[in-house]
Structure 1
Amino acid sequence: MRVELVPAEATSLAFARDLTRRAMLPYYREYGLLWIEEAFDEAWGWREQWLIKEGETVLGFCSLSQDRQALFIRELHLVPEQRGRGVGSQVLETLADWAAQRRLPLLRLMVFKSNPARQLYLRHGFVEMGEDDCFVRMQRVIG
């Protein structure tokens, strides 16, 4: 399996929004948060948007931003039938490589406390830096 990240076009917005909503809505409900479609759509314009593909098959999508210190994983979602195949692991390693290429010392993300993906991040060298009522802030040192 060879997974690649390709730039998402505006035509992928509906797919990405739907995938994110379906993946995150249970956590939003658990923590009493409100899902706002417009907020997702607005962020689409200022973040880097990438489709996760294997050949012509779209496996998921990720959304990134960066500052002087870190590449931030804002969203990372796989279609349900692609989970558990190592796709997320490949994406995380690709993003760590990108952070290094951009000369950024950190790869960062936030994850819902109850999200099992938290274990995936720990296995890939992320450490927990703090938490609030519903999120854990994590980062991985690059290099």
Structure 2
Amino acid sequence: MKPIFRQANDKYFVEQLTRRNMETYYKKLGISWDKKAFDKNWCEFESYEIVINDCPVGVLRLSHDDAAYYIRDLQIEPSWQRQGVGVQAIDHTFELAQQARVQLLRLRVFCENPAVNLYKRRGFRICKTEGGAHYMEREV
């Protein structure tokens, strides 16, 4: 099943999915949800709904500069996790970076997040670890 990536317009869906998926990590690290930062980033990031059978199942949020594409947020509904949706989102980002002729993909992920293994399988390597998060990158 191949998802469709379309511009996200439902800010509420994106925020609620992100908050729900990240809640455990935030609590463990003593981080509070920052609504103002989310609102600011909503305007700055490219946000895509990940849609299967006309139903949103996740969100992919990106930014980029001349050096890299950044996966700022990749959230998948729990019932759709471990079904290849995350892989397809990473591959979609890779294609966007290729089209933009950018040489690197970068991201930050909490060390305890099982998605670390997904990123490693997709060719990302850990560049540094700081504040409970891995900073990872891969060449395009």
Which residue is equivalent to 2:12?
Answer: 14
Alignment deviations for residues 88-136 of structure 1 (CA, whole Å, 9 cap, x no partner):
0111111111101110000110000100000000000001000102110
CA distance in 1, matches of 2:121, 2:52: 23
CA distance in 2, matches of 1:31, 1:17: 19
The code of the aligned residue for 2:69 comes to L
Task: Tell me the TM-score normalised to structure 1 length.
Answer: 0.95
* SS of the residue 2:82 aligns to: coil
Q: Which one of the candidate residues 122, 125, 140 is aligned to 1:124?
A: 122
Q: Which one of the candidate residues 31, 53, 56 is aligned to 1:55?
A: 53
Residue 2 (1) aligns with residue 19 (2): no
Counting aligned pairs with the same residue, the percent is 36
The code of the aligned residue for 1:108 comes to R
Cα shift at 1:58: 0.8
Cα shift at 1:55: 3.2
The code of the aligned residue for 1:59 comes to V
Long gaps (5+) in structure 1 = none
* SS of the residue 2:108 aligns to: strand
Task: Give me the CA root mean square deviation.
Answer: 0.8
* SS of the residue 2:101 aligns to: coil
Long gaps (5+) in structure 2 = none
The code of the aligned residue for 2:139 comes to V
* SS of the residue 1:68 aligns to: coil
* SS of the residue 1:35 aligns to: coil
Which residue is equivalent to 1:27?
Answer: 25
CA distance in 2, matches of 1:94, 1:3: 10
Task: Tell me the TM-score normalised to structure 2 length.
Answer: 0.97
